[in-house]
Structure 1
Amino acid sequence: MAMIEVRRDGALALVLLNRTEALNAISTAFAAELAERLRELGAEPRLRALVLASNGGRAFCVGADLKERKGFSDAELYAQRPVFRELFDAARELPMPAVAAVGGYALGGGFELALCCDLIAADANAVFGLPETSVGLVPGGGGTQLLSRRIGLARAADLLYTGRQIAYAEACELGLVDQVAKTGASALDAALELAGTIAANSPVALRSAKHALRTGYDLPLAAGLDIEDAAWRQAAFSADRVEGIQAFAEKRRPRFE
């Protein structure tokens, strides 16, 4: 059975982590396969949104496969590092909006995979944590950088330094959860609903907006506004803008190509 399953529904892609017997622990092979699938999807211009989820089980992803690493020499651990970096780079650099559906454990690299996405949907079973310091490591999938940008320096420091796990309610309070699952619904249900709303919009506008948001976030305002202007021009002179205005005038849903 493939470790990664990809399903498509029109302009929406669903990427399912399918190593559920190991709680989707990230082995070297798993990281390489997931990175390849994400890069392939990122190259599909008609996709407007992507959902990353577990194909069932008790976890979204529990991070690096420590059973695999247990027998590693320093050289083998060193060789694994670029494979993992390629995975997190591929997730973070997706050109279309990406939503993580977190049900169950999202720990270590699993939490970082969710942070690489633009938005996080979760249900009441979600548990988040970066336990790396408890096993002599530092988060290496963007955790030290992405978490602080989401919830602030001091709150990120708490989770990074203590390595503690936080349940759904605290995660919502900290601002980690962007879409809350309705009563009786799963994180995947919530993520698909959110991604479906996103996917109804212009693919050119969505990608341009994401580029402006992600690229300009840490820049001085003037530089960020220049990036926004370039993104505006990309969308404004596209066929999507013509269709969007025409659909508005005709009081119908736009048919973006």
Structure 2
Amino acid sequence: MWSLFTKRAPAVALTAPPRNAPDYLPLPDDGRFPVAGESHYQPALFAAARGQVAGQEFDEHLPVTAALTPEPENEWDHHAVRVDVLIDGKPFRVGYLPRELAAEYQPSLLALGERGFVGTCAARITGGGERFYGIYLHLSRPRDLQVALGLAEPFVARRVEGAVLLRNDWSCRVTQEHAHQDVLARYAPAPGGEPRAVIASLSFCRIGSGKYRGQEAIEVRLDGARVGELTHAMSQRYGDRVRALTGQGLSVTCAAFTIRTAKGVEVELRMPPGR
């Protein structure tokens, strides 16, 4: 049995990657992602775990702090992001972000490095004893990390001259489409086909009937033609954001889909997170 699977210190000496003392910056940690290649760095994980064996449950996994260092010079993957664990304040390599994740995270981490910081996040070690050690990270999604670091706008996915496209995190239904079936017929999916992708523009109108009659709502248009509006609740949720953007002279757009239903053609918007 390898010595690194016992409670004795591992036989392989650990060497911290050479670097000047960095300034570490904790990153948002509301996600969970794996680390790749950790089987090649068992001595470092043994040392970080202090030789302990992690239990099977989440609360029994061993908490540590990980540091994320982009490696654009990496000959195997120019998008690589190295994962170190901090042992007594010093970084020791324990693996890399999986290739598909590294490509999304590296730009933010490079921008952070230009400010003189190395990002850190909470992590947990699994395994030990008769099993290999493993490790996973608590880290926000790439887009949320960009927003937290001030590298992206919270609700805008893309800006072009005179217009913005909102983020498309979740679905938001449109109401009053029944009054605009003549317009929606031009955007209907093929019979029996998949929903049709379109781009909707958002402006403001007044609610014409019901409990909230006369109050402001967000109007939905396709190629300038009205096809409905958001409910009062959704208009309240997004009104300030849309108003702030239109107040800058910008056209506000979002991804949308048209759907055939028994009631006719309906519209589903893709919108940013709620408040």
TM-score, length-scaled by structure 2: 0.21
Decide which structure has greater helix share. Answer: 1
Decide which structure has greater strand share. Answer: 2
